[in-house]
Structure formats: C-alpha cells, structure tokens
C-alpha cells in the first residue's frame, strides 16, 4: 500500500499520464494501456485501492470528473457538423438505443441469468459508449469524417440516455413491485429529467450571455465554466440520480451552438482537463476492482453475454436503426462494431448494484463483474481492431503524413508537386481564386476559403494532414494561423515561412516567436524562395548511402541550397526547420531546392557534343 493519500494522488496521476504517453509512443490504444495499468497497480499487485483509501470522497470525485468529461465532449457538438448525418445520428441515438436496450435486456436475462428487473436496468445502462472511451479511439484511428462524427455524437448523446434508461427501468420496477405503487414517484422522475434538460440549457444560455456581454473577464472564463458545470450537474443529480449527466450535456450543446468566439479558445483548456481526468479516473476505477471480480469475469455466462453484446446486439441495433439512411454498408459495419463501454457504465452500475441489492435482488451483486467484463473486453477488442478494420473497410485516413499548405504561390505549387511525387497527400488553401489558378492547372488538391473561417472548420477535412505550413506573403497572418492550429497539430508539426525580411528590432522577435517554427531556415524568406525559382533553381531528391553519407552530401552542396524536407525509410516526413534536431542517416532521402549547376553542366555537355559532331561533319 502507498504511504499516504497525497502520495496515492500523485501516483494515480503519474500512472494515468504515463499510460497516455506509452500509448502515444508505441501507437497503442490509450484506454487499453490505462486499463491494464490500473489492474496491475490495483487488484493484481495491490499497490492501490482508491475506493477504500478515498472513502466517502471516491464517488463524488468520479461523478464530477464524468460530468466535466461529458460536458467537454458535448462542447464539440455543433449542429453544423450534422450536415448529411442528422438522420443516421438521430436514428442511432433513439431507435438504435431502444433496440439495443431491449436486445441487451433479453441477453442479460437468458444468457447472464439475471432476473427480468435487473436485466432491464443493466440493459438500459449498457447502451452507452461515451467520450471517455470513444474520443481516445478516434484520436488513435484517424477515421474518415462521417463515421468519426457519428461515433462521437452517439457516444456523447447516448451517455445520459443510457443512464436515464437505467433509472427509468428501476423506477418502473419499483412502481410495479411495490406493495403500494406510487405514481407520484414515477412522475417525479419524468419531471426531473425535463427539468435537468431545461436547467442545462438555461446554464448554457446564461454563461454564454455573460461571456458575450463582458460580465466575466477573460481570466475567469474557464474557471467559471468549470464551476457552473459542477453546479449544473449537482443540482440536477440531487433531485434524481443520474439526471445530472443529461443536464451537463444540454449545457455543452447549447454553448457549442451559440457561436461564441471565446468558447473555441476555452475548448483546448477543456480538452487538456478532460485528458487528465480520463487518465486518472480510468486508473482509479480499475485499481479499485477486487481480484475475485476479475476471476469471475471468465465464467461462461459472462463471457457468453459479452460476446453476444459485441457480435449480435450492437451490429443488429445499428443495421436496423439505419435502414433508409445515407450510411453505406461499410460505415454501418464499422459503427456496428465499435461500441466500447467506459466510465459511465462502471460508475452507474456500481450504484445500481447497491440499490438493487437493498431492494432484495440478490443477482444484482454480479453487476460490477458483468460491467467490467463488458468494459474490458470491448475496450481491448475495439481498441486494437478499429485501425485494422477501418483500413479494410476503406474508412481510414491512415497513410503517409500529409501536409496542408496555407498560401498559393509559385513556390508552394512546386513544393506541393514534389510532395505529391513522393506520394504524400498535400492540399493548398487560399482565399483567392486567382492565386489558386496555377494550383488547379497543376492538378494539386486545393481548398478555396479562409483557413481561419468557421465555414472552413466544417467543410475542410484536415485528418489526412499531419503538418501545417503557413506560407502566405503576410507574416502576421502566418503566425496567427500557426497559433490557431498549434493545439490541433502539435508544436512540432506547425511551420511558417521566415518573417525576417520585413521586420526589424523588437517586431521581428515578436513575429518569430508567435506561432509555429521557422520553416527551412530564417535566412530564406518567401521573396528569396521565389527569387531562386526565377533563377531556375530545381527541386532535387538525394538518397544517402553508406558510400555517400550526410557529411559528403553537405560538402557537395552550394551555400545557396535550401534544404526542404527529408523522407525516412519508414515513410516518415520531416521538414527542415531552425529547431530540427534529426540528423539524416543512411537510407534517408533529402529533398532540396538547389542551383541548376548539374542541369547547366548537362546542357553545356550536350551543346559541346553537338558542336563536336557538326565540326566533324564539316570536315
């Protein structure tokens, strides 16, 4: 056991973030790594038992964390995303959820051996997926936009619906089996659910109005939203258990569709908080399980139940609910397979296990085991299969890391051509149709619009592009673009052309430090690059070998050569920059913009040969 509660909090955070890093470093599903880490630290080796150590604080901490995570997810649910997807998302979230509830309840009764009452409670709960498990999978898999949006919307919207279905089933059971059925209690549940939705909408509208009118200063906006989220969840949850999830979801969706500029600024802060909470909560939940629970998971009835839920109930509910929609068979197959259960299922099932046991349902004691079995098997199976399956179904953008170039000019057109020849996806974005004319003539993929506009966010698919190059003639705009996209692409993948030609003194320090890294070299501005093309500089690719290493390559190069990017044998793309630390090795291919010395020599040699041939004929 750990020496103190403070040490345990530190260890939980370290294990959570460490698991995220390991998953990123070795390209593994983060939720799988976190689950295994929690199991090793908790029931297997006995280092942690957060539920026992935190005592009465354990459940409130989990509940508040789930509320913030669900709010952060719903903050991304703009209705503009639903263009062409509104019908399938609505069908899956309503008809599909109902079908999954009924089929899941039947499976729980006949396969897992639960009583009808407990089966219908747990059947409602198990329709949830949720942002805690869906978001890490989407970050990992790089799905195409349509299936990714469907899974995201379903995960966030069905989360509170599943919890409410479980509560609804419990209330119905209590009403039907009670010695004196109380209709008022049942009506209270429906009234509380309606109140939770309205209260969440009111909280969203209220905090949004305060932002727009300047009643909250910038430095207090993020803290104020967090506190209001906790208040929104707590007030609704105190009236009827689990309605708080519905309330925070309504609040997030309301704010997401109010068009408030500061909401997008806060979204990155919320994402960071969400990642931290997901990491720590997964460790806490899995570390709190008992060893007996793990061993019981492998009993035939639980394994049979889990397999039917994964291979029959989920696919059937998706295929039946999406009949007549625009979804293709491949999209239905992928969405019908991906349904990992997560934190909401674990926490709410623990609550109902206690409540139902108190009501005299002895079979409710296996709910925790059943829930974790479904959570663990779906997390592992879907975490490891989503990438492979999405590729097989041609729904993945996985491939070579592409580049999105902002700014159309002669240099970016030539750079895009060289990237395309090397089989890297590339797109040029510009708001000028005239500047895009040579891009269109060259057959390069392009987008006509302002990269910073809201419309671009919904119309331009950025998934295939891991690098962003800001290469317009407006250096301030380049810096702004890099600053905007840095949270999405990462600091090491955002570049801008050197601004050192138009600024001096303090101004150059401001522009150079704001936004991304300097592309290529700070001495090569856009004017220099265009000038080199005017002087017939060429894009040349050179492969390093054991006979011709990097030192020899540098020695042969002219001082005016611009090193553009290198391609690793693995297919990894790396752009040269001021902060580049990678030393090219044997097998690397270096692409550079070089003086046409070789070409001139070849032309001169050809002319010389022609002259010699003509002189011989004259003789």
What confidence tens digit (pLDDT) does each residue in 536-587 have?
888 888 888 888 888 877 777 777 788 888 888 877 788 888 776 667 788 8
Residue owning tokens 């070579």: 400
Residues 413 and 351 in one domain: no
The percent of residues above 70 in pLDDT, for the chain, comes to 83
Residues 559 and 459 in one domain: yes
Sheet holding 589-594, edge to edge: 538-543, 589-594, 562-567, 573-575
Is residue 525 domain-resident? yes
Mean pLDDT value of segment 342-346: 71
Domain finish residue from 333, 359, 392: 392
54's tokens: 């935190």
As a whole number of angstroms, the distance between CA 1 and CA 182 comes to 47
The predicted pLDDT at position 83 comes to 64
**Average pLDDT over all residues of the chain:** 79
Mean pLDDT value of segment 108-112: 88
Is residue 76 domain-resident? yes
The predicted pLDDT at position 402 comes to 81
Is residue 193 domain-resident? yes
Residues 371 and 407 in one domain: no
594 forms bridges with which residues in the sheet?
A: 538
Mean pLDDT value of segment 350-370: 77
Residues 580 and 502 in one domain: yes
As a whole number of angstroms, the distance between CA 245 and CA 471 comes to 44
The percent of residues above 90 in pLDDT, for the chain, comes to 5
Residues 251 and 157 in one domain: yes
Residue owning tokens 């054991």: 546
13's tokens: 């955070």
Residue 39, pLDDT > 80, answer: yes
Residue 489, pLDDT > 50, answer: yes
Instruction: Identify the sign of the CA torsion 601, 603, 607, 613.
Output: positive
Is residue 616 domain-resident? no
Is residue 54 domain-resident? yes
Q: Are residues 165 and 190 in contact, defined by beta-carbon separation less than 8 angstroms?
A: no
Residues 458 and 380 in one domain: no
The predicted pLDDT at position 14 comes to 92
Residues 274 and 409 in one domain: no
Total number of domains constituting the chain: 2
Q: Which pTM value belongs to this model?
A: 0.67
As a whole number of angstroms, the distance between CA 55 and CA 50 comes to 8
Mean pLDDT value of segment 192-211: 89
272's tokens: 């960071």
Residues 408 and 292 in one domain: no
226's tokens: 């967090």
> Which of 18, 46, 60 lies closest to 289, judged by CA?
46
**CATH classification of the domain holding 99:** 1.20.1530.20
The predicted pLDDT at position 315 comes to 92
Identify the domain containing residue 209 by its residue range: 5-392
Residues 342 and 491 in one domain: no
Half-sphere exposure of 269 (CA within 13 A, CB side): 13
DSSP state of 289: S
DSSP state of 212: H
The predicted pLDDT at position 148 comes to 81
Residues 370 and 483 in one domain: no
Residue 509, pLDDT > 60, answer: no
Residues 438 and 378 in one domain: no
**Mean pLDDT: which of 86-90, 171-175, 410-414 is highest?**
410-414
Is residue 613 domain-resident? no
> Which of 137, 392, 132, 404 lies closest to 274, judged by CA?
132
- In which band, very low, low, confident or very high, does the pLDDT at 257 lie, cut at 50, 70 and 90? confident
- In which band, very low, low, confident or very high, does the pLDDT at 504 lie, cut at 50, 70 and 90? very low
CB atoms within 10 A of CB 261: 9
43: Cβ contacts below 8 Å, ≥ 6 apart: 287, 289, 290, 291, 293, 294
Residue 397, pLDDT > 70, answer: no
Cα diameter, the chain = 124
Is residue 299 domain-resident? yes
The set of long-range contacts for 355-364, using a CB threshold of 8 Å and a minimum separation of 24, is 355/170, 356/117, 356/118, 356/121, 356/170, 359/174, 361/115, 361/117, 361/118, 363/113, 363/114, 363/115, 363/118, 364/118
Residues 461 and 351 in one domain: no
Is residue 618 domain-resident? no
Q: Are residues 12 and 62 in contact, defined by beta-carbon separation less than 8 angstroms?
A: no
**CATH classification of the domain holding 552:** 3.40.50.720
């Amino acid at each position: 056991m750990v020496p103190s509660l403070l040490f345990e909090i530190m260890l939980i955070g370290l294990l959570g973030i460490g698991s995220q890093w390991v998953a990123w470093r070795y390209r593994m599903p983060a939720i799988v790594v976190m689950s295994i880490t929690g199991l090793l630290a908790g029931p297997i080796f006995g280092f942690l038992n957060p539920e026992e150590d935190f005592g009465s604080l354990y459940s409130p901490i989990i509940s508040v964390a789930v509320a913030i995570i669900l709010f952060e997810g719903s903050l991304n649910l703009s209705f503009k995303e639903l263009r062409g997807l509104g019908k399938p998302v609505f069908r899956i979230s309503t008809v599909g959820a109902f079908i999954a509830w009924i089929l899941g309840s039947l499976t729980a009764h006949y396969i897992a051996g639960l009583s009808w009452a407990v089966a219908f409670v747990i059947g409602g709960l198990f329709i949830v997926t949720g942002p805690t498990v869906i978001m890490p999978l989407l970050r990992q898999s790089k799905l195409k936009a349509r299936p990714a949006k469907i899974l995201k919307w379903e995960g966030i919207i069905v989360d509170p619906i599943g919890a409410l279905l479980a509560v609804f089933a419990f209330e119905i059971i209590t009403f039907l089996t009670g010695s004196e059925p109380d209709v008022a209690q049942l009506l209270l549940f429906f009234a509380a659910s309606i109140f939770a939705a309205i209260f969440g909408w009111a909280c969203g509208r209220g905090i949004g109005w305060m932002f727009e009118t300047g009643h909250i200063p910038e430095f207090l906006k993020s803290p104020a939203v967090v506190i209001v989220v906790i208040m929104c969840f707590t007030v609704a949850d105190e009236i009827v258990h689990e309605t708080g999830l519905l309330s925070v979801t309504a609040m997030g969706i309301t704010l997401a569709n109010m068009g408030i500029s500061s909401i997008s600024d806060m979204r990155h802060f919320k994402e960071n908080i969400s990642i931290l909470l997901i990491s720590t909560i997964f460790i806490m939940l899995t570390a709190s399980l008992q060893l007996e629970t793990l061993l019981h998971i492998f009993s035939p009835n639980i394994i049979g139940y889990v397999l039917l839920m994964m291979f029959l109930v989920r696919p059937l509910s998706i295929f039946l609910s999406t009949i007549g929609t625009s979804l293709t068979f491949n999209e239905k197959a992928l969405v019908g397979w991906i349904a990992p259960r997560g934190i909401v299922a674990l926490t709410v099932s623990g609550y109902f296990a206690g409540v139902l046991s108190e009501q005299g349902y002895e079979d409710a004691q296996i709910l925790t085991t059943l829930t974790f079995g479904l959570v663990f098997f779906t997390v592992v199976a879907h975490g490891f299969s989503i990438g492979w399956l999405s590729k097989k179904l041609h729904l993945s953008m996985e491939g070579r890391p592409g580049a999105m170039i902002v700014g159309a000019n002669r240099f970016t057109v030539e750079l895009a051509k060289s990237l395309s020849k090397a089989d890297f996806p590339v797109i040029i974005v510009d708001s000028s149709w005239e500047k895009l004319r040579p891009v269109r003539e060259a057959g390069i993929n392009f987008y006509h619009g302002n990269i910073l506009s809201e419309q671009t966010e919904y119309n331009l698919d950025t998934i295939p592009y891991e690098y962003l190059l800001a290469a317009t003639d407006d250096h301030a705009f380049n810096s702004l673009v890099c600053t905007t996209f840095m949270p999405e692409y990462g600091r090491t993948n955002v570049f801008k052309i050197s601004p050192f030609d138009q600024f001096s003194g303090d101004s150059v320090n401001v522009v150079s430090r704001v936004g991304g890294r300097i592309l290529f070299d700070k001495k090569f501005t856009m004017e220099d690059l265009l000038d080199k093309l005017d002087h017939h500089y060429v894009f040349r690719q050179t492969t390093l070998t054991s006979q011709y290493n990097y030192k020899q390559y540098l020695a042969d190069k002219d001082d005016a050569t611009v090193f553009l990017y290198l391609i690793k044998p693995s297919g990894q793309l790396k752009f040269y920059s001021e902060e580049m630390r990678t030393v090219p090795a044997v097998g690397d291919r270096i692409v550079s913009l070089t003086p046409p010395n070789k070409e001139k020599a070849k032309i001169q040699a050809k002319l010389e040969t022609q002259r010699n041939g003509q002189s011989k004929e004259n003789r």
